[in-house]
Structure 1
């Protein structure tokens, strides 16, 4: 007789008790109103519709997560991690801002089209590589990150008009009537009924495609139908309440931990768990709102999803991706002419950044130099530091997909900076120790999970993306809190150079001039580690000491660059690759050439950000991220081949 686990049921009972207490507390606040008629209106037109909407959304998101996980055989799959919700969200934002004529089709249909397009892009990127669990989630999360970057860019351009939209997109369940509940009820019930019809075929597909095909099932048709139902559920909810993660991930995991193994049983239990979890999150958001402003349930759920993903990733015992060695491009030689051309290009970009800008008013050039040179110097220093940090991390790990941004090191620095700015009101220029501590904390987390997964490249990047999502969720919560420093932090986190003062620029340049030469002194250790740990130990290298020094210096470089341009630039990924494609294979050569490329990329991005949409500035970090995310996906596909 199979033993039923006790701990998960204790957790479920505890969560149910907390949810009941929060419900009672929030109801008590309504009835404590001085006017009984007001309390009745709030109860009928706000509290109860919000509760019903939360239950329906929890049911739909949990079912969508279970369907995605079953058909992809991946316990980490859900609408948020696969980029489906981000695709729906981006389609609605783009329609409202750029193509308002499309609104005649309705937001729900536009969200469905965006979700379907994101699902199609995901399928095309992974179609030739099989249903590899980590690679699917890795691709989906980068698609989600890319969509969120584009959406953030549009919000920054139209903040005065879209502040309410941004709040709604964060996953708000606020209601002022029963219209959303009535709209969702019938479609959710119909899609749930279709998912029940797919229960038996999906149970067979969960075993293997060969077994299902031997029993006469059309695996492709069942998979497409299931994905269509899951995408429709995701788009439907996103169109009405915005992006809400966590539920599609946590509800199936909690049901499995409680001992429910059969898929047909899970299909009944998971929607109930999803409804309870989202109700709990929403009631917690309402309970905390008087102290922290109007907290969106989706942003609060995002804070909970990152630790949960890390836990599930930690429990995944059999990742199927082998370590990816540094790919070797066609043999090239770094010539003096190439290096001279790169230096001339950088000097030319500096001159253009200082003297050729919109508006073309030559009389004001010299007066504007005092505003331009700090931004240019800050972008140059940050690009160089992040590029060298990327070289160190890729060399130390043997992973061409590694970078400070993708491994979460930049996000760790960003998290610590944001917390200290909000809690202690410290200026950014004084927060290098805090950023360094955040980077080291992220590196510690990476090592903790790295030992579990054998330091597999894609698993390490997954941990980093979880930390990045955690940072983005915290930024959304701070933006919704009403704190006047929130917009400044949002601009900084997207890579804006507008706030770089002369003091910050000089401090960043000093850090670059000190830390980059220190990195060059590590040549022997980095070269030995790239040969493998056993070879390095045999040649006399102290592995613990050398790894610690390399990662400490990479953390310092990342902290310095992040303080200047935020956590989402992707320079640490692109610049080392460009250096290697230019023929810089030796460590010192790659560091120097990557630093030149990183500086060049950020100077050009800063110049474009100031001029491409003048007089409205565009964040330089966002421009680099919009280039870096497709570059990463191309590298991922190439490594799969």
Structure 2
């Protein structure tokens, strides 16, 4: 505890500096606070900055305790409300209730946030139960559920302009306070959570012996697990309801507690809230310091998100090994088609026919309509560019997914999961903020460079440590989480660049011109050609580095070039559809299940299927909210999420 004293003093000093910047010490209001006898600066201090400092301590303690309980009960050092999708589930529930059923919020936000967090946690636990609660499986499932929930919440926020600014700031995790009600509420939650943790300490110690040992001592393993998870979910949902999305405090606090010597469960449960309080208080102090210096205030939750990606990567070597869900063994042997040419020709023909049908069919104020020849000729120049762009983006993402799945020998690999889309997002944001008036070429180049750089960093990190394939997935998810935090902080600033990034995150093809669409199609065609030329590498690499090296494959060159191909494909497509679509995950799977096993057939079939999936998403984005267009990324995610959940819930055979 003594080692924490300097950090506590620093947090106190940062808060005190912000308070003195607002009001000299001699003018601070006397306690008890009475707004009738206070001027405006005193009210800002007494009912704004003071409760904000207390809320930072309480919320950090609540999240630290929630993360510690989750890590103990699941025996997983990277479990926390963020990595298990709990906070994102609460966020999505509150966004949906705000927009679609505001009457549900009349009784407060807490019940709605609790329901969303509980549903997300239940889904993740259901997937984990089918895989023996393997640590990597749990975190992959949780973070993908969380990424999907966050994407849908962002898309819905963008679609409802009247809620835009307030929801964007709230989603970033703002600690701004207007009175002491939040302090009282979180203090009650922390007290109840601490009491529950004290009661659970002994059963959790017994559970740490293993399922068989705990059952042998008469412990109700299922009951203890459900009760502990319920307590952790309630704690996390309370913070989400009160403050928004505060990421990764529940991951960092127990990890640092173990580093400081908290090996026993009671000590871990006691020390984690203290460290969590210090982490969030320090982050908020830094936010206040920046605000005092630059006059720019951004949500504290965005800063805590910057902790999570590096910390999660640092914790990867400490994870126990596990079999990732969705492997070939889990799915059963994929069929192998002897004559794939007719199927590929059929897929290409179906894609062309679908594109024509989507041009002909549309909605008018009176309902659905089929265009006549004259209307078709009038609408074709407007619809054709976006159809070409959507199909090309889908094909590029599918090509990237097929390459990554063969490169890592893991069928769960995709641009979204491996952090390539997240890196592309940071590249896009960098171009927006660093260039005064970024052109389309600059934005595309920044996105491509970001995607390729993210994949190179992940590959370098994992290759040095000889980690199994599922660690690559988790490292990529960490990069995606880091990118999400950066984008949340950028969007919450609220200037015109923030809204440009927010619009891009959800994805839309409405502003695509014909030159841009043709350029994206050309990029997809070149990438497909490159994948075909590398089909021998793609056939040998899944056999493992020893076999590939024995067959004379230049491993380093092959990996570097394939990474560049995947990063380029993802960057080009991400500019159009945003950082999350799951097309790169679904299309290669579908192609493989159709019997397209050879590398050339696989990448070609995946490209055609990906193009069709993105065409379907574009059609849904245009028609579902007629006469207004909804985000393309939302529909692509809604197609991909059910597929991903079904894939991960399949039992190992």
TM-score (norm 2): 0.91
Number of residue equivalences? 632
| Residues 338-389 of structure 1, C-alpha deviations (whole Å, 9 max, x = no match) | 3343223211222133332222576665444333222111111111111112
Mapped to 1, the partners of 2:5 and 2:338 lie a distance apart of 65
Q: Residues 322 and 114 from structure 1, CA distance in 2 versus in 1: closer, same or farther, beyond 3 angstroms?
A: closer
Answering whether residue 404 of structure 2 is matched by residue 399 of structure 1, we say: no
**How far 1:278 sits from its partner (Å)?**
0.9
**Among residues 299, 303, 310, which one is paired with 1:300 in the alignment?**
303
Q: Which ranges of structure 1 fall in alignment gaps of 5 or more residues? A: 1-7
**How far 1:39 sits from its partner (Å)?**
2.5
Mapped to 1, the partners of 2:26 and 2:269 lie a distance apart of 45
**How far 1:435 sits from its partner (Å)?**
2.7
Mapped to 1, the partners of 2:73 and 2:319 lie a distance apart of 20
Root-mean-square deviation over aligned CA pairs: 2.4
**Among residues 99, 102, 110, which one is paired with 1:100 in the alignment?**
102
Answering whether residue 8 of structure 2 is matched by residue 16 of structure 1, we say: yes
Q: Residues 284 and 336 from structure 1, CA distance in 2 versus in 1: closer, same or farther, beyond 3 angstroms?
A: same
**Among residues 421, 430, 434, which one is paired with 1:423 in the alignment?**
434
Q: Residues 286 and 171 from structure 1, CA distance in 2 versus in 1: closer, same or farther, beyond 3 angstroms?
A: same
**Among residues 69, 85, 103, which one is paired with 1:83 in the alignment?**
85
Alignment of 1:215-226 (within 5 A): 215-226=217-228
**How far 1:402 sits from its partner (Å)?**
0.8
* Alignment correspondent of 1:249: 251
Mapped to 1, the partners of 2:27 and 2:202 lie a distance apart of 54
* Alignment correspondent of 1:529: 541
Alignment of 1:195-206 (within 5 A): 195-206=197-208
**How far 1:575 sits from its partner (Å)?**
1.1
Answering whether residue 141 of structure 2 is matched by residue 129 of structure 1, we say: no
Matched position secondary structure for 1:351:
helix
Cα contact 1:421–1:427 (8 A) shared by 2: no
**How far 1:530 sits from its partner (Å)?**
3.1
Mapped to 1, the partners of 2:613 and 2:17 lie a distance apart of 53
Answering whether residue 321 of structure 2 is matched by residue 329 of structure 1, we say: no
| Residues 518-555 of structure 1, C-alpha deviations (whole Å, 9 max, x = no match) | 22111222222233333322322222222222222222
**How far 1:256 sits from its partner (Å)?**
0.9
Matched position secondary structure for 2:189:
helix
Q: Residues 538 and 336 from structure 1, CA distance in 2 versus in 1: closer, same or farther, beyond 3 angstroms?
A: closer
**How far 1:298 sits from its partner (Å)?**
1.2
Alignment of 1:238-637 (within 5 A): 238-289=240-291, 291=294, 293-313=296-316, 315-316=317-318, 318-321=320-323, 324-325=327-328, 328-334=333-339, 336-359=341-364, 360=369, 365-425=376-436, 426-451=438-463, 454-637=466-649
| Residues 29-70 of structure 1, C-alpha deviations (whole Å, 9 max, x = no match) | 111699983332111110111111121111111111100010
Matched position secondary structure for 1:402:
coil
Mapped to 1, the partners of 2:541 and 2:225 lie a distance apart of 44
Matched position secondary structure for 1:485:
helix
Cα contact 1:80–1:245 (8 A) shared by 2: yes
Mapped to 1, the partners of 2:553 and 2:404 lie a distance apart of 18
**How far 1:401 sits from its partner (Å)?**
0.7
- 36-45 or 223-232: which moved more? 36-45
Mapped to 2, the partners of 1:100 and 1:39 lie a distance apart of 34
**How far 1:334 sits from its partner (Å)?**
5.0
Mapped to 2, the partners of 1:391 and 1:436 lie a distance apart of 18
| Residues 433-484 of structure 1, C-alpha deviations (whole Å, 9 max, x = no match) | 4333212221222223323564423221111111112222222212111221
* Alignment correspondent of 1:26: 18
- 505-514 or 100-109: which moved more? 100-109
**How far 1:209 sits from its partner (Å)?**
2.6
* Alignment correspondent of 1:68: 70
Cα contact 1:50–1:175 (8 A) shared by 2: yes
- 591-600 or 488-497: which moved more? 488-497
Cα contact 1:584–1:590 (8 A) shared by 2: yes
Cα contact 2:401–2:415 (8 A) shared by 1: yes
Q: Residues 128 and 530 from structure 1, CA distance in 2 versus in 1: closer, same or farther, beyond 3 angstroms?
A: closer
Cα contact 1:416–1:435 (8 A) shared by 2: yes
- 445-454 or 117-126: which moved more? 445-454
Mapped to 2, the partners of 1:522 and 1:623 lie a distance apart of 32
Q: Residues 160 and 333 from structure 1, CA distance in 2 versus in 1: closer, same or farther, beyond 3 angstroms?
A: farther
Mapped to 1, the partners of 2:59 and 2:641 lie a distance apart of 30
* Alignment correspondent of 1:4: none
Mapped to 2, the partners of 1:585 and 1:429 lie a distance apart of 36
| Residues 536-582 of structure 1, C-alpha deviations (whole Å, 9 max, x = no match) | 22322222222222222222222222223222121111111111122
| Residues 387-441 of structure 1, C-alpha deviations (whole Å, 9 max, x = no match) | 1121111122211111112111122122112111111131233344433321222
Matched position secondary structure for 1:573:
helix
Matched position secondary structure for 2:410:
coil
**How far 1:20 sits from its partner (Å)?**
3.2
| Residues 292-328 of structure 1, C-alpha deviations (whole Å, 9 max, x = no match) | 7331111221122111111112x41532337945752
Cα contact 1:319–1:453 (8 A) shared by 2: no
Cα contact 1:33–1:39 (8 A) shared by 2: no
Mapped to 2, the partners of 1:526 and 1:460 lie a distance apart of 18
